[in-house]
Amino acid sequence: MTRDFSAFFERYGWPAAMGRFPFCIGHRGASGHERENTLAAFRRAAELGAEMWELDTQLTGDGVVVVSHDDHLERVFGIDRRISEMTAAELAALDGVDVPPFSEVAALARKTGTGLYVELKASGTGLLCWRHLAEMNQRFACLGSFDTTQVRELRDAGCDFPLSVLIRVGHDPHALGDEAGADILHLCWERAGERPQDLVTDALMRRAFEAGREIVLWHEERPPILDDIMKLPVLGICTDLPDLMRPSAEREKAVAR
């Protein structure tokens, strides 16, 4: 089964000649090499050949969208504080904490020619991210969430960016796609045993494609599985280690040194 993505790109104003398929989507940047969701991680992912960055959004107490998977800073930074209980200025002033504003990550993406695959965590961040991207005419982006309500909010508001719904193991991707009004089914099945690729059946893909939807796959760092899923007609694959999908970019970087 092959897939022509040109109509999808044209519909959403994505760059026509952009990398290879499936896209390499740096999961929280190159989080296998740098601290997740930091400018260093995103910059590294671009250097390693990732066409897009997956990132997560939180909201400060004064309504600024920042990039972090967790609201709480303990897991990543070892600090017992919550992003939602601080102003953006207070967050920026914390020693040893690197939580960039969404606007800074978006600016770096424009500079590097990289797409943004935005996973909405905190409620309300979707409309703010959409507004920022639209104001900057930054079309190479996608907005999505596990929370179908957040995705549907964007769809009902007339969002003209592609929308993704993230799907856990055991959930019906097609039903959730309908519920969210999504353009992309993002299958988060990395924990579905030793061969999660076997769950991505021809029947599943055909049903998605017939409904006008594309597919993005989980973050994968196991080379044998990655080799298998890179042969599938999907739009993109997330990975903590973009050099596994784009080894030529790493080789070119080493030669340049």
Provide the CATH number for the domain around residue 60: 3.20.20.190
- Considering the domain boundaries, does residue 9 fall inside one? no
- Considering the domain boundaries, does residue 48 fall inside one? yes
- Considering the domain boundaries, does residue 14 fall inside one? no
pLDDT per residue, tens digit, the chain (257 aa), is 789 999 999 999 999 877 689 999 999 999 999 999 999 999 999 999 999 999 999 999 999 999 999 999 999 999 999 999 999 999 999 999 999 999 999 999 999 999 999 999 999 999 999 999 999 999 999 999 999 999 999 999 999 999 999 999 999 999 999 999 999 999 999 999 999 999 999 999 999 999 999 999 999 999 999 999 999 999 999 999 999 999 975 545 544 55
- Considering the domain boundaries, does residue 79 fall inside one? yes
- Considering the domain boundaries, does residue 5 fall inside one? no
User: How many domains is the chain built from?
Assistant: 1
- Considering the domain boundaries, does residue 152 fall inside one? yes
- Considering the domain boundaries, does residue 1 fall inside one? no
pTM value? 0.95
C-alpha span between 216 and 230 (Å, rounded): 11
C-alpha span between 31 and 98 (Å, rounded): 14
- Considering the domain boundaries, does residue 6 fall inside one? no
| Burial grade of 181 (CB within 10 A; 0-12, 13-18, 19 or more) | middle
Q: Which domain holds residue 62?
A: 20-256
